[in-house]
């Protein structure tokens, strides 16, 4: 079970958090302008990589804030934690 | 007793404290400190069970948690009975009752033993290949297979014992209190680190604690004495907590570990009252040191599984630690020096060692000379080719090994024995290390896997790290622990080690035989009866990955996870396939290391603490008025209120009729309520609901439908505009938490520019819904100051008002289609207002109704229930709810998905009404809907989602989803049931009051 360093509360047990899938997928501003394929890209297509993956997490049983983490899926190490809207601090 | 197998002055056993116990209905005696295994062996009982597949007689094989055979059923008492207990782990206590598993009718006469004779036709995968096809055959065999296989009996009554969970945080956790664990603990604690040392045994010191021969010394002291002094010293250290009988079950990432502390299983039953039985420790350690030791490997040869065949280290442990001899005429079979230590332990007690069979041609250690001095015959370069004795070994034959170890040569020699100790060398116990994600490397010299890469802040020391000699253990433990803990000072300076062991070894995974492989039974996994032949068969049939071979042959799939034989399985695979060890993967060990009881896993979360129970503020009234409850999420909701002698159907029919004819009252407090405030609140609602919200006037209510981005219906409910920038949203009971989470997500991540604040207020308000033609009269009596006229207070509007001095909100909204008022008041007044309504409604036959009637009434109106009439594949268009989807709004969640190529297909499943040909016939919810039953295979068009008998329409009504249903109005369809086909007609889903006149009905 991970220890996650919530940017607002500090280090807490994973059980306090909820995972929210891949990060940095922005909802299109003008969905009506998009073709079916473009909309499907946003709606369904997600990466599933071995290595550092950027993910959304929510401190559901804490401050309820959403934030991003960079996690290495091969060993579960969290390389960075950063706020919504910020750029990932690692590659 | 004819044999004398009990010897005095052992390490663990208290000979002044005699204990009686029962095994397979016979009474035996042992001493305090004995395990069930040691006590049985002292009574010359080796046969303790039958193997799983062939039902071969099996005996005690080890002296620890790796035991594959001696798996017993504990207790007769049905509530405490426990299967799969290892006799080698359970300590005896007065009154212990145990019996064999895997045998029917008894261990001495076993019907399944016929499988042993049939075994040529029972190869690997036999059960898959034979009994699963045709399916009807499996049904016939299953009963007998299950009965005769027997996996122990689970208790039929509730567990009377108490369990608990405890969180522990420490600087350093040390797993295993053998010599390296003890040394690591001392170094850690003496340097000011908060240290926890755990060991699964009842005593400290591991196997070194009985390393008591003259040939093994540390700093001029016999090794076991040196270690005893160390143990004495650490037990006084302040920073160190020591927990025995504590087995680490799981080693997760981030140094999070689960351990089971066993507190009472060794006590006499009458001393366990009101005590915690097991404690599940949830340990978060900054650093972890694994000192889990090593396990002795068996050897793989024909008939290597007879009772009386043990690991040679187990024989040594039983004599040194428990004072128990496993036989009077011992033979040891080995490929390394370990068995010679066992021989010396036996000889020193005057126990006969008939011979040592050694795979090695050259043996050159001080120990082997000592053994020879004691006139024990050593067969160098020999192997055992067969053993004899059905329920107990009575002899064996040996042959000479060829130079390359691939064949046996020369003549067979027969030897007699009543006990055979085998040693195939040592396997580092890396189970927990690999559980944590650690990667192994293979060491060719002695054919072992050892830790290579640590996934977290952890270290392995001692024999689990591949340091198998006393010199390596002591020196390397000090060096690596110092570095790992970043400490300079320790008490350990230099070690003067004396050992008589030579590390040479001749490793042959599968020993050759004079028979062809097909005629041998060389067991690799004892518990699951997987043989070398099975593994080779799996390879012949094309399996390559160890994970596949494992599943096909069931090697390593037992409760012991194949702790003994996994290495041999890997070895045989790599030899057969001609590949390097580890190339086909190593098997993955998964938690728990040893099985945990369910009691330990759930701890105190049993009975009413199993899950949170949410009760409404009016709950007590429902209880007092005979309500039956149903669980909706964590809520207890009143389901129906049967009068005397009424069944559910009768109660629901009565309630449903009363609600439409007179008045009904419903506790709707469980509906989710979200308070929404902020200058962008209207814009926010525009974006999350499918319909438009900007123009909703203050004081008005509106029904809203919420979608996911994929266009599928997610939740629904009525939202009321309380003020310019203030709304209260209601959600479904089950959806409340998820809806709040979803709204927060959008606000924080997609639309942070919006000025909107959300608060969950579900528990803050009690919600009482009064409906029916008399509802207005009733609420007018409860709130006389409020003008309830249709002009002042029309449908879909709300008023702030007071009941007495207490502020409340009244909404005129309806989920039944009747004129209906919903009073929302601070929770703690809920019950008193409910009672006021009941009092006011007395003259109008006000009838409390539960969720079942609510569902019936809304179905009459064709109102959907999200999650019952919808699943995650229904769009509002599929639900025939186009009216609620705004065409004008530029965007809302899910809008774009409503015209994807898939969602605009016209043969999607769509919500329709269904009327049965026979109005008395009520459909089964979930039943399939078809059009043509003649054309095979029958095409499934959809299913029934809601179905009731309507007392207000006097007929059966149903909702269902049907492919292309919208265009099928009036069409006949069929509901095929087990013994009949029911004819139905597709109808409009609104069955009652299509014009909505009842919303303003007056009586
Ligand atoms: Zn937080």
pLDDT digits (tens, 9 = 90+) for B32-78: 999 999 999 999 999 998 887 788 899 999 999 999 999 999 987 77
Q: Percent of chain B scored above 70 by pLDDT?
A: 95
d(CA B633, nearest CA chain A) in Å: 18
B139 pLDDT band, cuts 50/70/90, is: low
| Partners of residue B901 in chain A, C-beta under 8 Å | 36
Which residue in chain A has the smallest CA separation from B253?
A1
The answer, yes or no, to whether residue B637 has pLDDT greater than 80, is: yes
CA B393 from chain center: how many Å? 39
The answer, yes or no, to whether residue B652 has pLDDT greater than 90, is: yes
**Cross-chain Cβ contact B752/A85 below 8 Å:** yes
CA B802 from chain center: how many Å? 52
What spacing in Å lies between the alpha carbon of A58 and ligand 1's midpoint?
Answer: 8
Tokens, residue B649: 């159907």
Q: What is the average pLDDT across B463-490? A: 95
| Partners of residue A2 in chain B, C-beta under 8 Å | 253-254
Of the candidates B101, B89, B117, B109, which has an alpha carbon nearest to the alpha carbon of residue B51? B101
**Cross-chain Cβ contact A1/B254 below 8 Å:** yes
pLDDT of residue B147: 52
d(CA A48, nearest CA chain B) in Å: 20
Which of A64, A65, A83 to mutate to probe the B interface, most B CBs <10 Å?
A64
**Cross-chain Cβ contact A60/B896 below 8 Å:** no
**Cross-chain Cβ contact A34/B896 below 8 Å:** yes
pLDDT digits (tens, 9 = 90+) for B788-825: 999 999 999 999 999 999 999 999 999 999 999 999 99
Element containing residue B352 per DSSP (H, E): strand B352-358
pLDDT of residue B318: 97
Among B710, B750, B891, the residue with its CB nearest the CB of A32 is B891
The answer, yes or no, to whether residue B345 has pLDDT greater than 90, is: yes
Which of B251-255, B555-559, B710-714 has the weakest average pLDDT? B555-559
pLDDT digits (tens, 9 = 90+) for B509-522: 999 999 998 899 99
| Partners of residue B750 in chain A, C-beta under 8 Å | 26-27
Residue-wise DSSP of B778-793 = HHHHHSTTS---TTTS
Among B455, B710, B895, the residue with its CB nearest the CB of A31 is B895
**Cross-chain Cβ contact B710/A36 below 8 Å:** no
Which of B455, B896, B900 to mutate to probe the A interface, most A CBs <10 Å?
B896
pLDDT of residue B141: 54
Q: What are phi and psi for residue B99, nearest 5 degrees?
A: -145, 165
Element containing residue B830 per DSSP (H, E): helix B830-841
B591 in contact with A at a CB cutoff of 8 Å?
no
Q: Are strands B294-296 and B309-311 parallel, antiparallel or unpaired?
A: unpaired
**Cross-chain Cβ contact A2/B752 below 8 Å:** no
- Integer-rounded Cα Rg, in Å, for chain A is 14
Tokens, residue B420: 């055979």
B753 in contact with A at a CB cutoff of 8 Å?
no
B115 pLDDT band, cuts 50/70/90, is: low
B1 pLDDT band, cuts 50/70/90, is: very low
What spacing in Å lies between the alpha carbon of B110 and ligand 1's midpoint?
Answer: 61
Q: What are phi and psi for residue B881, nearest 5 degrees?
A: -115, 35
**Cross-chain Cβ contact B745/A20 below 8 Å:** yes
The answer, yes or no, to whether residue B131 has pLDDT greater than 80, is: no
Q: What is the average pLDDT across B271-294? A: 96
pLDDT of residue B501: 86
Q: What residues are neighbours of ligand 1 (ion), with CB under 5 Å? A: A 6, 8-9, 59, 62-63
The answer, yes or no, to whether residue B785 has pLDDT greater than 50, is: yes
Q: What are phi and psi for residue B210, nearest 5 degrees?
A: -115, 25
Q: What is the average pLDDT across B157-164? A: 92
What spacing in Å lies between the alpha carbon of B602 and ligand 1's midpoint?
Answer: 27
* Helix, strand, coil shares, percent, chain A, to 5: 15, 35, 45
B710 in contact with A at a CB cutoff of 8 Å?
yes
pTM of the predicted protein model: 0.89
Tell me which CATH code domain A3-83 carries: 3.30.2270.10
**Cross-chain Cβ contact A32/B896 below 8 Å:** yes
pLDDT of residue B590: 86
Round the average pLDDT of chain B to a whole number and report it: 93
- Integer-rounded Cα Rg, in Å, for chain B is 37
Higher pLDDT, B658 or B214: B658
Q: Are B308 and B197 in contact (CB under 8 A)?
A: no
Instruction: Please report, for residues B616, B730, B891, B893, B896, the alpha-carbon distance to residue B706 in angstroms, rounded to integers and kept in the order given.
Output: 26, 12, 13, 8, 14
pLDDT digits (tens, 9 = 90+) for B387-421: 999 999 999 999 999 999 999 999 999 999 999 99
Which of B749, B754, B886, B901 to mutate to probe the A interface, most A CBs <10 Å?
B749
Which residues contact residue B988 at a Cβ distance below 8 angstroms, ignoring those fewer than 6 apart? B862, B913, B969, B994
Q: What is the average pLDDT across B636-655? A: 97
Map out the domains of chain B with their CATH numbers.
1-151 (3.10.20.440), 164-294+428-498 (3.50.50.60), 303-424 (3.50.50.60), 611-895 (3.30.1360.120), 896-999 (2.40.30.110)
What spacing in Å lies between the alpha carbon of B325 and ligand 1's midpoint?
Answer: 61
Phi/psi zone of residue B381: left (φ > 0), alpha (ψ -120 to 50 degrees), beta? left
Beta strands in B245-304 (DSSP E): 246-252, 256-262, 276-290, 294-296
Q: What is the average pLDDT across B1-22? A: 86
Which residue in chain A has the smallest CA separation from B749?
A84
What spacing in Å lies between the alpha carbon of B643 and ligand 1's midpoint?
Answer: 51
| Partners of residue B749 in chain A, C-beta under 8 Å | 56, 66, 84
Work out whether the CA dihedral B456, B460, B464, B465 comes out positive or negative: positive
Which of A1, A17, A68, A69 to mutate to probe the B interface, most B CBs <10 Å?
A1
d(CA A13, nearest CA chain B) in Å: 10
Q: Are B655 and B847 in contact (CB under 8 A)?
A: yes
The answer, yes or no, to whether residue B143 has pLDDT greater than 90, is: no
B439 in contact with A at a CB cutoff of 8 Å?
no
B703 pLDDT band, cuts 50/70/90, is: very high
Tally of CA atoms within 13 A in the half-sphere of A44 that contains its CB: 9
Which residue in chain A has the smallest CA separation from B711?
A43
**Cross-chain Cβ contact B254/A34 below 8 Å:** no
pLDDT of residue A69: 97
d(CA B968, nearest CA chain A) in Å: 29
How long, in residues, is chain B?
A: 1003
What spacing in Å lies between the alpha carbon of B761 and ligand 1's midpoint?
Answer: 21
| Partners of residue A36 in chain B, C-beta under 8 Å | 900-901
Q: What are phi and psi for residue B817, nearest 5 degrees?
A: 90, -5
B709 in contact with A at a CB cutoff of 8 Å?
yes
Residues B512 and B127: their CA atoms lie apart, in Å, by: 28
d(CA B695, nearest CA chain A) in Å: 23
Residues 213-272 of B with CB under 8 A from A: 252-254, 256
What spacing in Å lies between the alpha carbon of A30 and ligand 1's midpoint?
Answer: 32
Does residue B10 sit in helix, strand or coil?
coil
What spacing in Å lies between the alpha carbon of A9 and ligand 1's midpoint?
Answer: 4
The answer, yes or no, to whether residue B145 has pLDDT greater than 60, is: no
Interface residues of A toward B, Cβ cutoff 8 Å, are: 1-3, 18, 20, 26-28, 30-32, 34, 36, 39-40, 42-43, 56, 58, 60, 64-66, 75-76, 84-85
pLDDT digits (tens, 9 = 90+) for B207-242: 999 998 888 999 999 999 999 999 999 999 999 999
Which residues contact residue B380 at a Cβ distance below 8 angstroms, ignoring those fewer than 6 apart? B358, B360, B361, B362, B363
| Partners of residue B892 in chain A, C-beta under 8 Å | none
């Amino acid at each position: 079970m991970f220890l996650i360093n919530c940017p607002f509360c500090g280090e807490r047990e994973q059980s306090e958090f909820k995972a929210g899938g891949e990060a940095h997928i922005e909802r299109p501003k003008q969905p009506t302008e998009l073709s079916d394929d473009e909309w499907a890209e946003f709606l369904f297509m997600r990466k599933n990589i071995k290595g550092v993956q950027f993910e959304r997490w929510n401190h559901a049983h804490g401050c309820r804030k959403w934030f991003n983490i960079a996690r290495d899926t091969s060993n579960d190490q969290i390389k960075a934690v950063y706020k919504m809207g910020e750029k990932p601090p690692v590659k | 007793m004819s044999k004398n197998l009990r010897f005095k002055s052992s390490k663990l056993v208290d000979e002044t404290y005699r204990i009686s116990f029962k095994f397979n209905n016979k009474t035996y005696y042992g001493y305090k400190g004995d395990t069930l295994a040691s006590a049985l062996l002292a009574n010359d009982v080796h046969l303790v069970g039958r193997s799983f597949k062939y039902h071969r007689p099996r005996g005690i094989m080890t002296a620890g948690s790796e035991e594959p055979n001696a798996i017993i059923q504990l207790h007769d008492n049905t509530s405490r009975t426990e299967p799969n207990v290892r006799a080698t782990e359970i300590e005896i206590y007065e009154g212990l009752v145990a019996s064999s598993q895997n045998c029917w009718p008894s261990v001495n006469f076993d019907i399944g033993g016929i499988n042993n004779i049939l075994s040529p036709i029972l190869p690997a995968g036999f059960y898959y290949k034979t009994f699963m096809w045709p399916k009807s055959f499996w049904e016939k065999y299953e009963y007998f297979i299950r009965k005769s296989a027997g996996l122990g009996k689970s208790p039929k009554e509730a567990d009377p014992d108490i369990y608990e969970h405890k969180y522990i945080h420490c600087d350093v956790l040390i797993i295993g209190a053998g010599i390296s664990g003890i040394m690591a603990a001392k170094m850690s604690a003496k340097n000011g680190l908060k240290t926890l040392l755990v060991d699964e045994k009842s005593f400290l010191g591991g196997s070194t604690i009985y390393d008591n021969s003259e040939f093994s010394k540390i700093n001029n002291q016999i090794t076991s004495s040196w270690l005893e002094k160390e143990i004495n010293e650490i037990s006084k250290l302040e920073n160190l907590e020591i927990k025995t009988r504590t087995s680490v079950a799981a080693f997760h990432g981030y140094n999070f570990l689960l351990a089971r502390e066993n507190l009472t299983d060794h006590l006499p039953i009458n001393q366990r009252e009101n005590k915690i039985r097991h404690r599940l420790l949830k340990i978060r350690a900054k650093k972890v040191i694994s000192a889990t030791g090593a396990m002795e490997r068996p050897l793989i040869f024909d008939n290597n599984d007879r009772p009386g065949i043990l690991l040679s280290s187990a024989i040594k442990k039983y004599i040194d630690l428990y004072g128990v001899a496993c036989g009077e005429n011992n033979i040891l079979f080995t490929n390394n020096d370990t068995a010679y230590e066992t021989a010396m332990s036996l000889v020193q007690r005057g126990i006969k060692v008939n011979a040592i069979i050694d795979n090695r041609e050259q043996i050159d250690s001080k120990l082997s000379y000592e053994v020879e001095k004691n006139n024990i015959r050593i067969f160098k370069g020999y192997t055992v080719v067969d053993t004899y004795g059905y329920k107990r070994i009575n002899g064996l034959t040996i042959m000479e090994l060829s130079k390359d170890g691939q064949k046996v040569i020369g003549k067979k020699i027969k030897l007699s024995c009543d006990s055979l100790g085998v040693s195939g060398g040592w396997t580092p116990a890396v189970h927990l290390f690999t559980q944590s994600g650690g990667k192994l490397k293979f060491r060719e010299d002695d054919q072992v896997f050892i830790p290579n890469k640590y996934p977290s802040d952890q270290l392995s020391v001692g024999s689990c790290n591949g340091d198998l000699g006393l010199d390596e253990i002591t020196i390397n433990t000090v060096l690596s622990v110092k570095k790992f803990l970043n400490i300079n000072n320790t008490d350990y300076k230099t070690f003067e080690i004396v050992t008589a062991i030579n590390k040479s070894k001749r490793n042959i995974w599968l020993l050759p035989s004079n028979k062809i492989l097909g005629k041998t039974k060389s067991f690799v996994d004892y518990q699951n009866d997987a043989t070398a032949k099975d593994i080779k068969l799996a390879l012949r049939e094309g399996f390559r990955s160890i994970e596949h071979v494992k599943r096909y042959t069931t090697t390593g799939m037992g409760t012991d996870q194949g702790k003994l034989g996994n290495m041999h399985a890997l070895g045989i695979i790599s030899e057969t396939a001609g590949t390097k060890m580890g190339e086909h993967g190593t098997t993955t060990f998964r938690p728990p290391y040893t099985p945990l009881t369910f009691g330990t896993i759930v701890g105190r979360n049993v009975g009413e603490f199993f899950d949170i129970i949410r009760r409404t503020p009016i709950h007590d009234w429902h209880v007092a008025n005979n309500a039956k409850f149903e669980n909706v999420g964590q809520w207890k909701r009143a389901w129906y209120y049967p009068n005397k002698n009424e069944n559910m159907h009768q109660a629901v029919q009565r309630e449903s009729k009363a609600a439409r004819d007179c008045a009904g009252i419903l506790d709707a407090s469980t509906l989710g309520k979200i308070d929404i405030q902020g200058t962008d609140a209207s814009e926010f609602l525009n974006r999350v609901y499918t319909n438009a919200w900007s123009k909703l006037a203050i004081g008005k209510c509106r029904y809203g439908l919420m979608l996911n981005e994929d266009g599928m219906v997610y939740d629904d409910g009525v939202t009321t505009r309380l003020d310019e920038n203030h709304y209260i949203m209601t959600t479904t009971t089950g959806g409340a938490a998820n809806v709040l989470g979803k709204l927060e997500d959008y606000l924080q991540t997609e639309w942070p520019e919006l000025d909107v604040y959300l608060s969950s207020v579900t528990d803050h308000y009690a919600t009482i819904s009064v409906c029916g033609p008399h509802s207005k009269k009733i609420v007018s009596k409860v709130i006389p100051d409020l003008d309830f006229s249709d002009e002042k207070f029309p449908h879909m509007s709300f008023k702030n008002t007071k009941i007495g001095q207490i502020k409340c909100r009244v909404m005129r909204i309806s989920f039944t289609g009747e004129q209906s008022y919903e009073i929302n008041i601070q929770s703690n007044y809920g019950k008193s207002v409910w009672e006021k309504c009941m009092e006011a409604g007395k003259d109008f036959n006000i009838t409390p109704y539960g969720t079942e009637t609510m569902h019936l009434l809304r179905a009459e109106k064709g109102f959907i229930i999200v999650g019952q009439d919808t699943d995650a594949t229904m769009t509002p268009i599929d639900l025939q709810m186009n009216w609620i989807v705004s065409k004008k709004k530029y965007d809302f969640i899910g809008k774009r998905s409503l015209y994807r190529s898939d969602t605009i297909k016209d043969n999607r499943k769509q919500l329709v009404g269904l009327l049965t040909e026979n109005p008395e016939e009520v459909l089964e919810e979930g039943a399939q809907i078809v059009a043509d039953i003649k054309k095979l295979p029958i095409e499934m068009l959809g299913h029934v989602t809601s179905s009731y008998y309507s007392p207000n329409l006097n007929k059966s009504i149903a909702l269902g989803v049907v492919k292309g249903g919208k265009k099928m109005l009036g069409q006949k369809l069929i509901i095929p049931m087990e013994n009949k086909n029911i004819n139905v007609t597709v109808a409009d889903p609104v069955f009652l009051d299509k014009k909505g006149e009842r919303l303003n009905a007056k009586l």
